Amino acid sequence: MAKRDLEIKPYVFPMPVLMIATYGDNDKVDVMNMAWGGICSSSQIALNITETHKTSENIKKRGGFTVSIADVLHLAESDYFGTVSGNRVEDKFERTGMHAVRSERVDAPIIEEYPITLECKVNKIQKDENGFRVVGDIVNVQADEAVLDENGKVDPTKLNAFVFDQFQNGYYKIGEKIGDAWKSGNKFIN
């Protein structure tokens, strides 16, 4: 099959749709949709964001944030959080009609409508020629009972999550299990 050079592009698929929630001044809830982040160790998450975002300012001031997995039921709200800046729209969160409660573990809100939330405390902030990066320690994970299996583990097929594609700027629903990690390739082990 012929291949074609596409130059330098950030073409990794899938990209997560992560909802980063913080408190601003006067405990104002701010939520940002971001794709350039992910797990960087068994107990840490890294966010690669622009320093001028309201979320970045809030993280620096408060030292905490939450990360939720966006679900299909809240696609419009989630997309809106990535389209509108909290620096320009003061009532950004309120316009969606979503609800937040204060985390008991970090200085950040938990968005009630999202099915799973990681509560994170800032471990370090890195700023260099490659950009602005926040590494957070995951101090707890909260999940709705509805997305748990009979053993109390998160069932990805119940999350109703979606991912972002950098190729055509689309969202795609995920959830069908097609194999078992560390088992599907066993036929190649001698």
What local confidence, expressed as pLDDT, does residue 176 receive?
A: 85
In this prediction, residue 162 carries a pLDDT of 94
**How many whole angstroms separate alpha carbon 20 and alpha carbon 127?**
19
Hey, what domains does the chain have and what are their CATH numbers?
Answer: 15-188 (2.30.110.10)
Q: Which regions of the chain are under pLDDT 70?
A: none
pLDDT in the model for residue 130: 85
Type of residue numbered 30:
D
pLDDT at 60 (0 to 100): 97
Between CA 91 and CA 167 the distance in angstroms is 31
CA 33 to chain centroid: 7
| 2-9: long-range pairs with CB below 8 Å, 24+ | 9/166
